[in-house]
Amino acid sequence: MKRLIALLVILCADSAIAAGNISSGNNAAGSSDAGKILFASVCQSCHGQDGAGDGPGAAEFVLRPRPFSQAAFKFDTDSDWEKGSDLDLANVIKNGAAAYGGSALMPSWPALTDENVLDLVAYIRSVGPPP
């Protein structure tokens, strides 16, 4: 598993792409159904089913991802004093958490399109508490 994670990190190392035209706020326009499918194939290994933070890939991490169900988001990537806005989630997904002082265990995903990212944000919202 460690080798898989190392490979992921290497594959995703050349990142730092801005999250395009995704705005601040909390009204992701993406499709949570499409996001769910993508999440299951790319993110669930670490983030667990429904983003509970208990995926097998994260079992040996010192720092585990927080459950999305609690929406206890950590990153304010655009310094607007709001953590976990659509733009914050999108930035972390595209650029990785290390770009914002977080853990390199959350890699960057430069291959995802803005649409993919919006779908993932919509999915993360869908497993969170009601607005």
- State both tokens at 82: 């709001």
Of the ranges 12-20, 21-29, 71-79, which one interacts with ligand HEC (CB under 6 A)? 71-79
Between 21 and 62, CB nearer to ligand HEC: 62
Indicate whether 75 belongs to the interface with ligand HEC (CB under 6 A): yes
Q: Is 92 helix (H, G, I), strand (E, B) or coil?
A: helix
Length of the chain, in residues: 131
Of the ranges 10-18, 25-33, 73-81, which one interacts with ligand HEC (CB under 6 A)? 73-81
All residues at 6 or more sequence positions from 13 whose CB lies less than 8 Å from its CB, including other chains: 108
CA dist 40 and 32 (Å) reads 12
CA dist 66 and 78 (Å) reads 20
State which of residues 65, 87, 118, 122 lies at the interface with ligand HEC (CB under 6 A). Answer: 65
86 within 8 A of 121, measured Cβ to Cβ: yes
State which of residues 12, 24, 26, 66 lies at the interface with ligand HEC (CB under 6 A). Answer: 66
Q: Which spans of this chain sit near ligand HEC (rule: CB under 6 A)? A: 5, 8, 42-43, 45-47, 57-58, 61, 63, 65-66, 73-75, 84, 89, 92-93, 97, 102-103, 105-107, 109, 120
